[in-house]
Chains A and B, each alone.
Chain A
């Protein structure tokens, strides 16, 4: 396998984008990534798109072909594929795009993620998001994605003494980070009391503990590191991309307070990268709820089990802390257009590692980690990127 680099990035505004369609968002992100990379469309060997649910959200499947067509790639018969791993679809597309370049099959590829969620009423979006659980044995009985995470939260509080304030501290931190990100859906700091007093979604989680419904797209140009070296002195290397899985239904696992898929993906990624976890300078993790970030930073091994809540509360994971987590605002504040999230995470790392993250810049960041979960922990991806 050869070394792979990120040559360019593009990302749309995340939010409720009533005036934009999925195809417009996807193309906007893709063209921006190509401009950033300084490549022409006739240099692209393949397109990979992460998308979870366009078949139900906008009645359109075959999203790879849709984006390739309207980006002008269809005329050259460029292959395009859509990849689905629930809300880890973006990370999955990245993983397979990475493999296609690392293997030598392709030299230059575009990998994007896109989702258009606001064309349907909330209760239908909630139903569609719950299809990432076990439809017949969880969702059928009334479970939603957030009710699953709520049960993790209650159990985590029970076993480790995690507090309601610690959950809220994650949201406060990520909204503070989002306020520094011009592409974020929410760019306003919020107070601890506001999170705690927000209307309940699934107790103990309230509206501000949960990622919003979002539209958005993000794209990257990947190429061999050799090519990147010739083209630019400003690129980022992908030094690991790993995936692990677990049972589809959360109740089939040994416990509720840990995602073994995250642990396994992290071990694989560290081994591939030849790094130890204490070398990581910043992480974008899957905070689809506040408890999700706590679980993630514990399962990635950054904090002992049960200490994740204290990490947010004591500002260790804030910008300026020892290990900044979700400097983009995370899924919570940047927004969570399902298939786009995994790509947006990598873009945040690229911007940080290039020193181009503006007001949210982490000083002298060299190694960044992205962690994307599908559903309630049946799929986990971990990628590690290094500044060149």
Chain B
């Protein structure tokens, strides 16, 4: 591991810890993570993207129970991945925790919680961010 391996994690912490996104001042579309340019308004949105923190609530668009995964996530198996439509509009990908798969449905209401996501190797950087729980 190189000396600066942690940088790519802390660079994103405002969005991962605080759900910082942004909103197009031209058309009102909300983005998460924040985008420099609105996908609909293009140049009309330049300089008009306004920071906005998501409230952390939304609903499940789809989910899966993962049984085969990549290095460093195997210790968590099986785990639930979901795509969640946030109440402000954007969707994101996250784990659903503190519930059994049988309790989750498409359309289930969920809210964000702050959790440990994983670590790089056995002695590596521990990184944190959002997971979701049923409400």
Of all chain A residues, the one with the shortest Cβ separation from B81 is: A147
- B63 / chain A contacts, CB cutoff of 8 Å: 151, 154
Whether A141 lies near B129 (C-beta < 8 A) is yes
Interface size on B, residues (CB 8 A): 36
- B101 / chain A contacts, CB cutoff of 8 Å: 203
- B70 / chain A contacts, CB cutoff of 8 Å: 123-124, 126-127, 130, 139, 144
Whether B62 lies near A138 (C-beta < 8 A) is no
Q: A251-B91, A251-B93 are in contact. Are A137 and B68 (CB under 8 A)?
A: no
B133 at interface by CB-CB < 8 Å:
no
Scan B48-78; emit 1 where CB is below 8 A from any A CB, else 0: 0000000000000111111111111110100
Whether B67 lies near A151 (C-beta < 8 A) is no
**Pick from B64, B71, B83, B127: contact of A202, CB under 8 Å:** B64
Q: A137-B93, A249-B93, A251-B83 are in contact. Are A155 and B76 (CB under 8 A)?
A: no
Cα of A175 to Cα of B63 in the assembled complex, Å = 28
Cα of A26 to Cα of B64 in the assembled complex, Å = 37
Whether A123 lies near B65 (C-beta < 8 A) is no
Q: A154-B62, A250-B83 are in contact. Are A201 and B68 (CB under 8 A)?
A: yes
Of all chain B residues, the one with the shortest Cβ separation from A135 is: B8
Cα of A230 to Cα of B71 in the assembled complex, Å = 54
Q: A137-B33, A142-B95 are in contact. Are A158 and B81 (CB under 8 A)?
A: no
Cα of A250 to Cα of B62 in the assembled complex, Å = 12
Scan B23-55; emit 1 where CB is below 8 A from any A CB, else 0: 000000000010000010000000000000000
A347 at interface by CB-CB < 8 Å:
no
Cα of A152 to Cα of B94 in the assembled complex, Å = 15
B113 at interface by CB-CB < 8 Å:
no
Whether B69 lies near A142 (C-beta < 8 A) is yes
Whether A202 lies near B65 (C-beta < 8 A) is yes
Cα of A349 to Cα of B12 in the assembled complex, Å = 45
Shortest distance between the CB of A251 and any CB in chain B (Å): 4
Whether B117 lies near A140 (C-beta < 8 A) is yes
Whether B68 lies near A155 (C-beta < 8 A) is no
Of all chain A residues, the one with the shortest Cβ separation from B105 is: A158
Whether A151 lies near B62 (C-beta < 8 A) is yes
**Pick from B66, B106, B117: contact of A144, CB under 8 Å:** B66
Scan A197-229; emit 1 where CB is below 8 A from any B CB, else 0: 001111111000000000000000000000000
CB interface residues, B 74-99, toward A, < 8 Å: 74, 76, 79, 81-83, 90-95
Whether B81 lies near A202 (C-beta < 8 A) is yes
Shortest distance between the CB of A158 and any CB in chain B (Å): 5
Scan B85-126; emit 1 where CB is below 8 A from any A CB, else 0: 000001111110000010000100000000001100000000
Cα of A369 to Cα of B129 in the assembled complex, Å = 43
Shortest distance between the CB of B20 and any CB in chain A (Å): 13
Cα of A123 to Cα of B72 in the assembled complex, Å = 9
Cα of A139 to Cα of B68 in the assembled complex, Å = 14
Scan A242-264; emit 1 where CB is below 8 A from any B CB, else 0: 00000101111000100000000
Whether A152 lies near B62 (C-beta < 8 A) is yes
- A203 / chain B contacts, CB cutoff of 8 Å: 64-65, 67, 101
Cα of A144 to Cα of B90 in the assembled complex, Å = 21
Whether B62 lies near A141 (C-beta < 8 A) is no
Scan A99-128; emit 1 where CB is below 8 A from any B CB, else 0: 000000000000000000000001110110
Which residues does A use to contact B, with CB under 8 Å? 122-124, 126-127, 130, 136-144, 146-147, 150-152, 154-155, 158, 199-205, 247, 249-252, 256
Sorted nearest first, the 10 A-B pairs with minimum C-beta distance are A127-B70, A150-B64, A151-B62, A155-B62, A251-B91, A126-B70, A200-B67, A203-B65, A202-B64, A138-B93
List 12 interface pairs A-B (beta carbons < 8 Å), by A numbering.
A127-B70, A130-B70, A141-B81, A141-B93, A142-B76, A143-B93, A151-B81, A151-B82, A158-B62, A200-B68, A202-B81, A256-B62
User: What 19 additional pairs, Cβ within 8 angstroms, besides A155-B106, A205-B64, A251-B91?
Assistant: A122-B68, A124-B70, A126-B69, A137-B33, A137-B93, A140-B127, A143-B81, A143-B93, A146-B68, A147-B64, A147-B81, A151-B62, A158-B106, A202-B68, A203-B64, A204-B64, A249-B93, A251-B92, A251-B93
